[in-house]
Structure 1
Amino acid sequence: MIKVSVMYPNSERVKFDTDYYKNSHLPMIQESLGDALKGLELEVGIAGRAPGELAPYVAIAHLKFDSVASFQESFAPHQEKFAADVENYSNVQGELQISEIIAL
């Protein structure tokens, strides 16, 4: 199993509409990816390491798939639609990382 993490860097100038992302963007992704998507989680940053410090990421979405190929095949046909929606919830682009999930 793999996890695709989309991480939105945080700063004083970042705008991020969590309600839109949670209630519109992520449901659109779920519907578009269908059964290929095995799990979805949203994390919203609330603090950094030191008191008063911003969280490094304003939000992180974690999407689970059986394999990298499954992610690529299900995501590619919708990539432009997903990218075009970013302006509706943020002024920053997410950083994407694909990780292998290793159970301990």
Structure 2
Amino acid sequence: MIKVSVMYPNGPETKFDVDYYKNSHLPMVAESLGDALKGMEFSVGIGGRIPGELAPYVAVVDLKFESVATFQAAFGPHAAKFAADVPNYTNVEGELQISEIM
């Protein structure tokens, strides 16, 4: 099992519409990926190491798949649609990491 994390860097100029992301973008992603998507978890950063410090990431979504190949086959055909929706919820580029779940 793998986890694909999309992490949106935070900063003083970062804009992120949590409601749009949660209620429009993520449902579109889940519907597009279908049965290949085995689980999803969305979290919003609320702080860093020091009290009052910004969280390093304004938001993180973790998508679970059986394998990298399954992820690539499901995600690839929809990548342009997902990317086109980004300006609707943020002004930053998400960082993507693929991890093996141990």
For normalisation by structure 1, the TM-score amounts to 0.98
TM superposition shift of 1:21: 0.2
Question: Partners in 2 of 1:24 and 1:93 — Cα distance?
Answer: 18
- The 5 A counterparts of 1:62-73 are 62-73=62-73
Question: Partners in 1 of 2:18 and 2:94 — Cα distance?
Answer: 14
1:91 has 2:91 as partner: yes
TM superposition shift of 1:58: 0.1
Identity of aligned residues (%): 75
Question: Partners in 2 of 1:93 and 1:78 — Cα distance?
Answer: 17
| Structure 2 stretches lacking a partner, 5+ long | none
> What is the match of residue 6 of structure 1?
6
For normalisation by structure 2, the TM-score amounts to 1.00
Deviations 1:21-46 (A, max 9, x none): 00000000000000000000001000
Structure 1 stretches of 4+ with a deviation exceeding 6 A read none
Question: Partners in 1 of 2:82 and 2:10 — Cα distance?
Answer: 20
> What is the match of residue 42 of structure 2?
42
RMSD: 0.2
Match of 2:62, SS state, is strand
Question: Partners in 2 of 1:71 and 1:94 — Cα distance?
Answer: 17
